[in-house]
Every structure is written in structure tokens, then in C-alpha cells.
Amino acid sequence: NAGVTQTPKFRVLKTGQSMTLLCAQDMNHEYMYWYRQDPGMGLRLIHYSVGEGTTAKGEVPDGYNVSRLKKQNFLLGLESAAPSQTSVYFCASSYSTGAGTEAFFGQGTRLTVV
């Protein structure tokens, strides 16, 4: 059981380049999330999705776009990367957002923008 899988695990981008991070889950979860983790800042929600074809903004959505064309996949795009987007990105999924529902996390993608 793979759980939540993120691709790639590491990436270095030049300022202005674009890229897409892929998150795939095999647990048939409805909800998927993208977080960024920065030292001393904890995890901050970028965007999330409550089901196939839906997306919503989180706490820090600027500079990112997302798509959920298939239930199992949640893509995070950076159209024009900036050094401020250097971070570790985590994808997560959950069955619902009901009481006690936990989120399952991927291994993370370490992105450096130079």
C-alpha cells in the first residue's frame, strides 16, 4: 500500500522557471492538500481539494495553482518560480474532514529556487 506518493523528491529551479509537483494517493480519499514547510513556520496550507474537480485556496496560495482532474491525483504548479518558494512541499490526503479524521502525508518534495 503506497499511501501518498509525491513526485519528484528533489528539484532545483531557476527563478522564473515553471514546474508541476504531482501527488498521488491510492486510498480513495476525497480530500487532498498541499502544504509548504519552512523552518520555524510549521506547515502552512497552500491549496486543498474536497473532491475531484474542486480546489480551494488555503493560507498561502499566491504564486501557486492546483488541479484535481482525477480523484487520486492533486497537482501543484508554480508558473514562475521565485526564491521565496524555496521550501519543502508536502501533500496530504484524508477520507473526510469529519471528527477525528487524520491526514496522511507524502514524503515531501524539497524545492530550491536559485
Partner 1 sequence: AQSVSQHNHHVILSEAASLELGCNYSYGGTVNLFWYVQYPGQHLQLLLKYFSGDPLVKGIKGFEAEFIKSKFSFNLRKPSVQWSDTAEYFCAVKAGYSTLTFGKGTMLLVSP
Residues at the interface with partner 1 (CB under 8 A): 4, 33, 35, 40-45, 48, 58, 90, 92, 97-103, 105-108
**Three-class SS string for 85-101?**
HCEEEEEEEECCCCCCC
Whether the CB-CB separation of 61 and 54 falls below 8 Å is answered with no
For residues 14 and 62, which CB has a smaller minimum distance to partner 1 in the complex?
Answer: 62
Least distance (Å) from partner 1 to the CB of residue 83? 21
39 vs 108: CA distance, rounded Å: 14
Q: Is 69 helix (H, G, I), strand (E, B) or coil?
A: coil
Least distance (Å) from partner 1 to the CB of residue 65? 18
For residues 33 and 74, which CB has a smaller minimum distance to partner 1 in the complex?
Answer: 33
For residues 78 and 92, which CB has a smaller minimum distance to partner 1 in the complex?
Answer: 92
